[in-house]
Homo-oligomer: A and B are copies of this chain.
């Protein structure tokens, strides 16, 4: 029977394996050592690797991120954990103006092999400043790679690759995925950045998403299948580099595209992918490209309001049905 792990366990294993493999890898963040991180991802790493390589930090998001950048330039392979992507606003300068730019500044000589691990997404009533989805910020910045896995298997394989990558990688987890389970083989494996996964094949419409929304898209596709509509469900897995070929292949095949993400619709990655398709696959399109995204609002606390802001399976189903009418 294939082994199953939780998403957080898969991440833990990835970090552990890479720390064993390469002594230049170290990890720092708030409460990641003895406590094992807010979501348990770094549990018992301290015991194995000691306080020199598993480092608790003060609340100083800008400078701990900058520390990672500096250490990466110096030749280490740091992983910095920002507890919540909402707080990455404090580290923006270090990511945007330092990490992303350094290889360019040095004509490619200087590498910045660091990973910024963080988590986003709405739930549990964490509300306004603990529920946001900010991948669009990083997506817009040349020099950063952006990874958003949806399964334990991908989480492990992509994090290992991210740690080995010579560019700064923003690795964004989702708070609702940590306790999800999935198959993760025992042996060593990695997944290259920039390859989308076709989760389900269909002929009528492409449903494109990533992170938690991939799971919801699969549920929607299941429902739609029951109504005779078959979907390609494409999980991007990495946003930068973007698997343009997979997107175009699917859209050219189905002629219809629904892009789903949890982030606020305006200025989202979904918008960018829709624009890309409208530019590159226009002649194949049979219907408007619809985006199913988070509402344009801060995320509220009340459970019903909170849920109203996040794309639902029903909304995805409706969007697909709508494009099927064209």
Contact A296–B264 (Cβ < 8 Å): no
The segment out of A30-38, A45-53, A156-164, A285-293 that lies at the interface is: A285-293
Contact B296–A287 (Cβ < 8 Å): no
CA of A128 to CA of B129 in the docked complex: distance in angstroms?
31
Partner of A287 from B62, B139, B142, B282 at Cβ < 8 Å: B282
> A62 contacts which chain B residues (CB < 8 A)?
90
The verdict on A268 contacting chain B, using a C-beta distance below 8 Å, is yes
The segment out of A10-18, A183-191, A269-277 that lies at the interface is: A269-277
Number of copies: 2
CA of A289 to CA of B268 in the docked complex: distance in angstroms?
18
**Interface footprint category on A:** 35 or more
Contact A297–B142 (Cβ < 8 Å): yes
Contact B282–A288 (Cβ < 8 Å): yes
Known: A142-B264, A264-B140. A275 touches B298 (CB 8 A): no
Contact B274–A140 (Cβ < 8 Å): no
List the B residue with the shortest CB-CB distance to A127: B105
Contact A140–B104 (Cβ < 8 Å): no
Contact A267–B89 (Cβ < 8 Å): no
Q: Which of A62, A90, A326 has the most chain B CB atoms inside 10 A of its CB?
A: A90
Residues of A within 8 A of B (CB): 62, 86-87, 89-90, 92-93, 96-97, 100-101, 104-105, 128-129, 136-137, 139-143, 240, 263-264, 266-272, 274-280, 282-283, 285, 287-291, 296-298, 300, 326
